[in-house]
Amino acid sequence: MYRSLGLRIGLLVVVIAICAAGVVVAVPRLMKAPETTAKAATGPTTQLVAGKSNVLLVPESVSQALQVKTAAIEAATAPSPLQLDGWLILDPSRLVHVRTRFGGEVVEIGTIEGVSDDQSTSPRRCIRELRFGDEVEKGQLMAVVWSKELGEKKSELVDALSKLHLHQFTAARLEELYRKGAIPERSVREAEQDVDADEIAVARAKRTLTTWRLTDADIAQIEQEAAKIRDLEGKNDASIRANWARVEVRAAAKGVIVERNVAVGVVVDTQLDLFKVADLNRLEVMAHIYEEDLNLIETRPAEDRQWSIHVRSDPQSQSLDGRFDQIGPIIDSSQHTALVMGWVDNSENRLRIGQFITATINLPPPPHAVTVPLKSLVDQGGKYRVFVQTDPKLPEYTSRVVTPLGHCPGDKVYLSMQPPTGRSQPPGDGAYLRPGEIVVTSGALEMASAMDELIATRTAVAKSSE
């Protein structure tokens, strides 16, 4: 009995010992986990530099994990020229509409020395009618119209002059007879009234012709013709009759005929353009500019709005100088472009109306600007910032809120060297951004997130300690 009891007691001791051993083995395992966690928590992390809420300390190991890359800030250089697609049109202010002052029948077309119109023979020089493309001088005869209306108005003036001459002669004779007492005074006064009426009729006829833009020389010629008729005592003069209803249509300006709408025998009125003559030494340019590029040219002063024009059909041709002076107020809803209007010099006659062109505008860099890679810019809801390493020997990165001024070639962006409104200048030489400073190009977004979290944590701790 005692032996079995002792056996039982011995087994119980063994079980207790085994359990105790299990506890001893398990406890070290439970204690090792907190040690590992504590070791990880005490590893390198980003933190704010003491006393500065915009400077982040990034240890080298963290920088390597974030694959941080940097680049130097560069001085702003001129961007790539702005190239606009467009076309050439005729300048309306340099287009002359050649019309007749009196309606009638076209009896003659002006001539010029040129190549014969006869296609059956070999080309030869001859005197031919004016046609499309011919160049004319100011005052050159372009057409002759035989106008019944002009003939009638000239006849009215001649008739009034003839009556005036007759009544003046009669009044002078009656005045002489009155002085001799041969006739009463009443006859003299009636003759003087006839003279006054004739003078009024002559003045009215002259004003009518002047209104129709007959010159003083034209009217003087009509008076000479009236005198010839009186001298011939009513007999016809062939030279007078040949030019009596002749209306000469002359070029009002030097230029090239761009339209001809008349031929001999056609009856025309004063509203028809017999010819259109254009000065092609300067052509108007219409070009499209994208909406986002408008700010590049709108702010340029009037004296700095030059462009050069290239013909798209001949890219190797030499460019021609010109200027743009107007930006259209309407944005095309389908292309999101506006019209830029200006002109180009064509004194060498190298350009043609309607040609497609490329207008090149050289752009200066923005004033007081630097250039940074586009990847360095952190966009946070319309507010932009970059991280600058002010001292290459220290792993400290300063956050600076910046003002973008537009894109530039090579995936870069212009930034203002001055701080945004309300921001203070950093210590030193006073420049907010300087060429040569180091800016973060990869890892900037992670730095911004870490800085925001650290600032939020610092603010929460400060509030809880109050």
Least confident of 328-342, 357-371, 405-419: 405-419
Which region among 283-287, 361-365, 370-374 has the lowest average model confidence (pLDDT)? 361-365
pLDDT exceeds cutoff 90 at 361: yes
Inter-axis angle of helices 185-211 and 148-179, nearest 10: 160
pLDDT, residue 123, reads 66
Determine how many CB atoms are found less than 10 A away from the CB of residue 302.
7
Report pLDDT digits (tens) over 297-308.
888 888 889 999
**The three-state (H, E, C) secondary structure of the chain, written as one string:** CHHHHHHHHHHHHHHHHHHHHHHHHHHHHHHHHHHHHHHHHCCCCCEECCCCCCEEECCHHHHHHCCCEEEECEECCCCCCEEEEEEEECCHHHEEEECCCCCEEEEEECEEEEECCCCCCCCCEEEEECCCCCEECCCCEEEEEECHHHHHHHHHHHHHHHHHHHHHHHHHHHHHHHHCCCCCHHHHHHHHHHHHHHHHHHHHHHHHHHHCCCCHHHHHHHHHHHHHHHHCCCCCCHHHHHHCCEEEEECCCCEEEEEECCCCCCEECCCCCCEEEECCCEEEEEEEEEHHHHHHHHCCCHHHCEEEEEECCCCCCCCEEEEEEEECCCCCCCCCEEEEEEEEECCCCCCCCCCEEEEEECCCCCCCEEEEEHHHCEEECCEEEEEEECCCCCCEEEEEEECEEEEECCCEEEEECCCCCCCCCCCCCCCCCCCCCEEEEECHHHHHHHHHHHHHHHHHHHHHCC
Residue 20 has pLDDT above 60, yes or no: no
Q: Which domains does the chain have, with CATH numbers?
A: 47-77+367-458 (2.40.420.20), 82-91+279-361 (2.40.30.170), 100-146+251-272 (2.40.50), 150-217 (1.10.287)
Q: Quickly state the pLDDT bin for 35 (edges 50, 70, 90).
A: very low
The pTM assigned to this predicted structure is: 0.61
pLDDT higher than 80, residue 34 = no
In degrees and rounded to multiples of 5, residue 42 shows phi and psi of: -90, 10
- End-to-end CA, the chain: 75
Please, how many CA atoms are within 13 Å of residue 401, restricted to the half-sphere of its CB? 12
Beta strands 255-260 and 74-75 are: unpaired
The pLDDT mean for the chain works out to 82
Give me the pLDDT at residue 32, please: 32
Is the pLDDT higher at 232 or at 108?
Answer: 108
